[in-house]
Amino acid sequence: MKETGKYQPYNYFQLMEVSLRELLVEKGIVTEAQVAATVEDMRNRTPERGARVVAHAWSDPEFKRKLLADGTRACEELGLDVPALRLVAVENTPAVHNMIVCTLCSCYPRMLLGIPPDWYKSRNYRSRAVREPRAVLAEFGLDLPDEMKIRVHDSTADMRYLVLPMRPAGTEGWSEQQLAAIVSRDCMIGVAVPRIA
Amino acid sequence: MAASELSARFRPGERVRVRKVYPLGHIRTPFYIRGRSGVVERLCGAFGNPEELAQMRSGEPKQPLYRVRFLQTEVWPGYRGNPEDALEVEIFQHWLE
CATH number for position B89: 2.30.30.50
Gap between the Cα atoms of A26 and B76, Å rounded: 53
Shortest alpha-carbon distance between residue B74 and chain A (Å): 12
Shortest alpha-carbon distance between residue A197 and chain B (Å): 30
* Chain segment A151-181, per-residue pLDDT in tens: 999 999 999 999 999 999 999 999 999 999 9
Gap between the Cα atoms of B64 and A163, Å rounded: 24
Gap between the Cα atoms of A117 and A128, Å rounded: 16
Residue among A148, A153, A155, A197 nearest A174 (CA): A197
pLDDT above 70: residue A136: yes
Mutate which of B89, B91, B92, B95 to disrupt the A interface (most A C-beta within 10 Å)?
B89
Overall average pLDDT of the A110-122 stretch: 93
Q: A39 and A54, same structural domain?
A: no
Count: domains in chain A: 2
Find out whether B81 and A146 touch, Cβ atoms under 8 Å. yes
Instruction: Look at residue A27 and tell me if it is in a domain.
Output: yes
Overall average pLDDT of the A50-69 stretch: 97
pLDDT level of residue A42 (50, 70, 90 thresholds): confident
Q: A87 and A75, same structural domain?
A: yes
pLDDT above 60: residue A2: no
Q: A136 and A60, same structural domain?
A: yes
Contacts of A157 in chain B (CB under 8 A): 28, 44, 47, 50, 65, 90-92
Gap between the Cα atoms of A163 and A71, Å rounded: 11
Q: A82 and A55, same structural domain?
A: yes
| pLDDT at position B63 | 95
pLDDT level of residue A4 (50, 70, 90 thresholds): low
Q: A139 and A70, same structural domain?
A: yes
Residues 6+ apart with CB under 8 A from A18: A10
* Chain segment B62-94, per-residue pLDDT in tens: 999 999 999 999 999 999 899 999 999 999 999
Distances (CA, A) of A98 to A26, A89, A143, A153, A164: 47, 10, 13, 7, 9
Residue among B26, B51, B66 nearest A105 (CA): B26
Count: domains in chain B: 1
Instruction: Look at residue B82 and tell me if it is in a domain.
Output: yes
Gap between the Cα atoms of B36 and B45, Å rounded: 22
Gap between the Cα atoms of A79 and A102, Å rounded: 27
Contacts of B39 in chain A (CB under 8 A): none
| pLDDT at position A159 | 93
Nearest CA in chain A to B30: A104
Q: A176 and A126, same structural domain?
A: yes
Q: A65 and A34, same structural domain?
A: no
Element (H, E) at B16: strand B15-17
Taking the alpha carbons of A118, A121, A127, A131 in that order, is the dihedral positive or negative? Answer: positive
pLDDT level of residue A41 (50, 70, 90 thresholds): confident
The CATH number covering residue A168 comes to: 3.90.330.10
Q: Provide the mean pLDDT of chain A.
A: 93
Instruction: Look at residue B34 and tell me if it is in a domain.
Output: yes
Please give the residue that has the higher pLDDT: either A82 or A28: A28
Instruction: Look at residue A5 and tell me if it is in a domain.
Output: no
Lowest mean pLDDT among A80-84, A128-132, A140-144, B33-37: A80-84
Q: A169 and A95, same structural domain?
A: yes
Instruction: Look at residue B7 and tell me if it is in a domain.
Output: no
Q: A100 and A39, same structural domain?
A: no
Q: A126 and A31, same structural domain?
A: no
Shortest alpha-carbon distance between residue B97 and chain A (Å): 18
Residue among A97, A191, A84, A105 nearest A156 (CA): A105
Instruction: Look at residue A195 and tell me if it is in a domain.
Output: no
Find out whether B65 and A158 touch, Cβ atoms under 8 Å. yes
Find out whether B50 and B23 touch, Cβ atoms under 8 Å. no
Domain holding A25, by residue range, is 12-43
B30 and A156: CB-CB below 8 Å? yes
Residues from B contacting A (CB-CB < 8 Å) are 28-30, 32-33, 44-45, 47, 50, 65, 67, 69, 72, 75-76, 80-82, 84-92
A106 is catalytic: yes
Instruction: Look at residue A170 and tell me if it is in a domain.
Output: yes
Distances (CA, A) of A62 to A66, A109, A112, A158, B7: 6, 23, 20, 26, 32
Instruction: Look at residue A2 and tell me if it is in a domain.
Output: no
B45 and A153: CB-CB below 8 Å? no
Q: A32 and A127, same structural domain?
A: no
Domain holding B22, by residue range, is 15-95
Instruction: Look at residue B5 and tell me if it is in a domain.
Output: no
Instruction: Look at residue A7 and tell me if it is in a domain.
Output: no
Instruction: Look at residue A104 and tell me if it is in a domain.
Output: yes
A102 is catalytic: yes
pLDDT above 80: residue A5: no
Q: A82 and A23, same structural domain?
A: no
pLDDT above 50: residue B1: no
Instruction: Look at residue A64 and tell me if it is in a domain.
Output: yes
Share of chain B above pLDDT 90, in %: 94
| pLDDT at position A43 | 85
